[in-house]
Chains A and B, each alone.
Chain A
Amino acid sequence: MYDLIFYFFALITLGSGAVVVFSKNIIYSAFSLLFTFFGVAGIYVLLNADFLAVTQLLIYVGGILVLLLFGVMLTNKVIDVELKTGTLQTVPASMIVAATAGVLCGVFYITDWRIVPSTMEMNATTAELGNMFMTTWLLPFEIASVVLLVALVGAAMIARKDKSMQN
């Protein structure tokens, strides 16, 4: 049953991922990302990474996907205009893709995977993650939060109406 569920989520991820890449309609690409993120979250659950799975849903579906949809819908003339994606720069793109795929495959084969027999029982990862963030990885955690804060302040600055510009 475990395998069945894994293949189900893998199918969702790959199938919707293919739609993201191959669809000519950019709105379809954006919406099928929803299913890709969902499939990846399902695979995280199977890997006993429950916190990561939910975070994936929260950040990617709730944040990034909606932002993307807003971007797509607002940058084009919204209604009655065909939103199309085109193929540009085929040669450099395929070279970069080949290089990336090579690196990924290399990493995949070189890495010494720790293969643990899978159990359906879930261990709580949340408390452990919290402890690690507050002890071992405190500095990276704080740096990430400062980066996010700076991004937030920057976004507010850009979005703000400049009073001197209006006159």
Chain B
Amino acid sequence: MDQILKSFLDNEILVYTIMAFVPLLWIVPYALFAVYLERKVSAHMQDRLGPMYTGGWHGWAQTIADILKLIQKEDIVPAAADKKLHLLAPYVVFIGSYAAFATIPFSSAYIGSNINIGLFYIIAVSSVVVAGLLMAGWSSNNKWSLFGAMRSAAQIISYEIPTAIAILVVVMIAGSLNLQEINQQQSGWFWNWFVFKYPPFVLVAFLIYFVASLAETNRTPFDIPEAESELVAGYHTEYSGMKFALFFLAEYANMFAVSAIAATLFFGGWNSPFGDFLGGPIWGVFWFLSKGMFFIFLQMWLRWTLPRLRVDQLMYVSWKVLIPWAFACVVGVGLWTLL
């Protein structure tokens, strides 16, 4: 896509700016839709109807009304808060989660930056979010915020390890950290997807990745950082208006980023499941987004099914269950490829 843009735009900086904005064109409408979906899914799982009035048909305009309300709200900064950090934190969090989209291939024709270390970059850049969360929690000068931020940081850091090891399994198979190349290696019919390779090791690695990514995005059953029944709302308790909306957007962007990585690494990314049928760059976007949305739905499904884990159980799952099994997968795939 950058080649096409370069052909009729002279300015290189302009081309890269446009390229950088493309994922945003997806994230903002997606976040609006996902909030609506979340409310509808939760409602139907609890035998309710959810929003039904705004906009007429099944309350489709509910989140649009919500975001209009958020934009108009007064921006309240607590008197005892640290003003500078309080202002900066939502931006750091959003930049951290948006930066991950730079190396995610949306189709065979579009990837923000086709660098060789794309996957490693995503793991690294998502850690910026942790600093932003701590910033938000500390600067609010509110004990609930600080507790939420501390829990969130501890959780994200410990679940980065099983995530990275599970990703390592795919990297060993593909022999590359470039996400576009990993996609190309899975082209063809759906049995070429990495998740079906070396059974059952890669399948287990996918499950480990999925569980750990739930924790990294602070989704139930790993939502103790936000735990609304004990911590009000965690690190964003003291935020209102657009800054709150930015946290929300970052959270939903993060959810899509981990889903997109799961789809790319294990389920063929933009590849059509049926070989060349409905293939090509345009359909690639469709397959990529629908695979991503499927995992979003799975995350919501789990959220409204499972109860919250306690802090000690959280650490137990990470260190004594996920990490040993992830290592077993690495060793298993390694031995299998050598033999």
Contacts and interface: CB of A to CB of B under 8 A. Distances in A.
B36 interface: no
B153 interface: yes
Interface of A: 1, 27-28, 31, 34, 38, 50-51, 54-55, 57-58, 61-63, 65-66, 69-70, 73, 78-80, 122, 124, 126
A79 B141 contact: yes
B127 A57 contact: yes
B143 interface: yes
A69 B80 CA distance: 20
B117 interface: yes
A27 B85 contact: yes
A73 B80 CA distance: 17
Contacts of B80: 80
A30 to B, nearest CB: 9
Interface in B85-122: 85, 92, 115-117, 120-121
Contact of B115 (A57, A73, A78, A122): A122
Interface residues of B, number: 30
A87 B92 CA distance: 30
Given A66-B157, A73-B134, A79-B143, 10 more contacts: A27-B85, A28-B84, A31-B135, A51-B117, A51-B120, A57-B124, A57-B125, A62-B127, A66-B134, A70-B150
Nearest to B135: A31
B146 interface: yes
Closest 6 CB pairs of A and B: A62-B127, A58-B124, A57-B124, A124-B116, A54-B124, A54-B121
Nearest to B88: A31
Contact of A54 (B92, B120, B143, B146): B120
Interface in B112-157: 115-117, 120-121, 123-125, 127-128, 130-131, 134-135, 138, 141, 143, 146, 150, 153, 157
A6 to B, nearest CB: 15
A126 B143 contact: no
B131 A58 contact: no
16 contacts: A1-B13, A27-B82, A34-B92, A51-B117, A54-B120, A54-B124, A58-B120, A58-B123, A61-B124, A61-B131, A69-B131, A73-B150, A78-B138, A80-B141, A122-B115, A126-B120
B134 A78 contact: no
B177 interface: yes
A122 B116 contact: yes
Contacts of B146: 73, 78-79
B116 A58 contact: no
B138 A50 contact: no
B270 to A, nearest CB: 23
B127 A58 contact: yes
B312 interface: no
Given A55-B124, A57-B124, A79-B143, A50 B134 contact: no
B280 to A, nearest CB: 28
B120 A61 contact: no
Interface string B55-89: 00000000000000000000000001010110000
Contact of B116 (A34, A61, A126): A126
Interface string B197-222: 00000000000000000000000000
A81 to B, nearest CB: 11
Contacts of B82: 27
A44 B150 CA distance: 31
B238 interface: no
